[in-house]
Structure 1
Amino acid sequence: MELENFRNLRERCSVRRDIIREFLAELLGTFVLILFGCGSVAQTILSREKHGENLTIHFGFTLGVMLAVYMAGGVSGAFANFADGKQIVVGENATAGIFASYPRENLSLLNGFIDQVIGTGALVLCILAIVDKKNIGAPKGMEPLVIGLSILAIGVSMALNCGYPINPARDLGPRLFTAMAGWGLEVFRAGNGWWWVPVVGPMVGGVAGAVIYFLMIELHHPELEKNLEDDNSIKDKYELNTVN
C-alpha cells in the first residue's frame, strides 16, 4: 500500500516535459557551481588568505564544475566583520569580486575580451575532445572529472588578468545579485564597464573553439559508412574462406 501511494505521489509530482526537466537540472547545476566556486573565493577573501589562496579557488571551481556536470549532465553573513561591513566593489577590501569577475589594474577591455575568448575557446576544445566518441575521449562516467580538470588547467594558467569566468552564467547572474544586494550599480561601472566582457567574450570563444575543433579534428574522422563497408568486406572474405 505504501509503495503504491509513493508511486502515485511520484506520478503526480514528476515533470514530464523535457524543457522543464532540463531547466530544473541546469538551475540546480549552476547553483552547485556558484556555491562551491564563489564559496572558495569568499573563504579566501574574507579570511584574508588565512583559510584559502589562489590554488584553493581553482580547486573550488574545478570541483564545482565537476559536481554540477554529474548532477545535471544526465538531464541535459560573513561580511559583518570585513571592511567594517561596507560592501565595496574595488580596492583592498573589495568583496564584490567574491561573486563576479573584475579585471586587474591596467587591463584594457580589448585585452580582457581576448583573454575570455581564448580561455573559453580552450575549454570548448577540451570538452569536445572529451565527449567525442570517434576520438580517444574519456571513459564513460569520467567525463565530468576530466572536464573539471580542464577547468583547473585553465585556472592555473590563465587566471592572472581577471580570473576565468569563461561562462556568462557564472558571471552575469552573480553580478546582478550583488547589484541588488547592496553593492549597487558600481558593479557595472567598475573596470570601465567591464561587465559585458565575461558575457560576450565566452560566447565568441565558445563558437570559435567549436569551429576550430570541427575544422581540425572532427571533419577528418573516418566516415562511419566507410568503416561499415570495410567491416562487411572483411566479413565476406572470412565467410568465403570458410566455405572454401
Structure 2
Amino acid sequence: METQTQKHSLIDKCKLKNRWIKEGLAEFLGTFILILFGCGSLAQSILSRGVYGNMLTVAIGFPFGITIAVYATIGVSGAHLNPAISLSMCVLGRLQWLKLPVYCFSQLVGAFVGSAAVFGLYYDAFMAFDDGNFAITGQNATAQIFSSYPASHLSFANGFADQMVGTAALLFSILAILDSKNNCVPKGLEPVVIGLIIMVIGISMGYNCGGPINPARDLGPRLFTAVAGWGLEVFT
C-alpha cells in the first residue's frame, strides 16, 4: 500500500500543473504530428518519383495526420494547430489574447521540428535523389515536400485570391463545427470531420499552390529548409 502511495505521489510530482505550458506543449505535439504524417506522405511520393505515392495519397496523408493530431491534443489545448485558428478563437473570445503568442510559437516550433524528423527519416532517400542536390524548382525539386510553392502559371492576383478562398473555406467550416448551438456533428467525431474538410480543400484547391492554409505549417518547414541546405531562396 505504501509503495502504491509513493508511486502516485511521484506521478503527481511529475505532472505539469502550469496550464500555459501544457497547452503550449500540446500545440507543439499536434503540429509535429501533422507535419510528420503530412510532409512524410509528400516525401514518400516525391522521393520515390511517384512509385510509392501520388496526389491522392498526399490528400489522404495530410487530413488523417490532422485527425490524429487533433485527437491527441484537443483535450488539452483545443487542438488549434494553426495560427489562423488561434487568432479566430481570440476574436471570438474563446482564447485569451495573451495566450496567442504561446500558441503561435508552439505551432511554429512543432512544424520546424516535424520537418527535421521527416528529413531525418528520409535522409538517405534525399541523398540518393538527384545526388543529394536540394533543388527548389525544376524536375528534381524537393523543397515542395516541406512548404507550398506557386505553380508556374499562377499570377499574383490569382494566387492571392486562391489563398483567401482556401483559408476562408477552412475557417468557416471549422467555426461551423464548433458552433455548439447548431452542431450536427456527433460528439467525438469533430476531428474526423475536420480531416475531411482538409481533404476536400486539398483535392479541389491544391493545383495552384498546394494547400498553404496554415501559416505555421508553411513557415516552420520553410525555415527548416532554409537552414538544412535549400538556402534562403526558399523565401523567394
Where on the TM-score scale, by shorter chain, does this alignment land: which range? 0.7 to 0.9
Superposed displacement of residue 110, structure 1: 2.7
Report the counterpart of residue 184 of structure 1 in structure 2: 231
In 2, are the aligned partners of 1:88 and 1:96 still within 8 Å (CA)? yes
Report the counterpart of residue 130 of structure 2 in structure 1: 83
Per-residue Cα deviation, 1:2-36 (whole angstroms, up to 9, x for no partner): 42232222222211111111000000000000000
Determine the C-alpha separation between the residues in 2 that align with 1:2 and 1:51: 51
In 2, are the aligned partners of 1:59 and 1:152 still within 8 Å (CA)? yes
Aligned pairs (5 A) from 1:183-222:
183-189=230-236
Compute the TM-score of the two structures, normalised by the length of structure 2.
0.78
Report the counterpart of residue 135 of structure 1 in structure 2: 182
Aligned pairs (5 A) from 1:94-243:
94-189=141-236
- Give unmatched runs, 5+ long, in structure 2: 78-122
Q: Identify which of structures 1 and 2 has the higher relative contact order when contacts are C-alpha pairs closer than 8 Å and 6+ apart.
A: 2
Report the counterpart of residue 217 of structure 1 in structure 2: none
Per-residue Cα deviation, 1:129-162 (whole angstroms, up to 9, x for no partner): 1121211431110000001000011011000101
Query: How many residues are paired up?
Result: 189
Matched letter for residue 59 of structure 2: H
- Give unmatched runs, 5+ long, in structure 1: 190-244
SS in 1 for 2:126: coil
Report the counterpart of residue 100 of structure 2 in structure 1: none
Moved more, 161-170 or 9-18: 9-18
Matched letter for residue 67 of structure 1: I
Report the counterpart of residue 31 of structure 1 in structure 2: 32
Q: Percent identity?
A: 58
Per-residue Cα deviation, 1:112-142 (whole angstroms, up to 9, x for no partner): 2221111111011111111212114311100
Superposed displacement of residue 181, structure 1: 0.4
Structure 1 runs (4+) greater than 4 angstroms displaced: none
Compute the TM-score of the two structures, normalised by the length of structure 1.
0.75
Higher Cα radius of gyration: 1
Determine the C-alpha separation between the residues in 2 that align with 1:179 and 1:3: 50
In 2, are the aligned partners of 1:41 and 1:57 still within 8 Å (CA)? yes
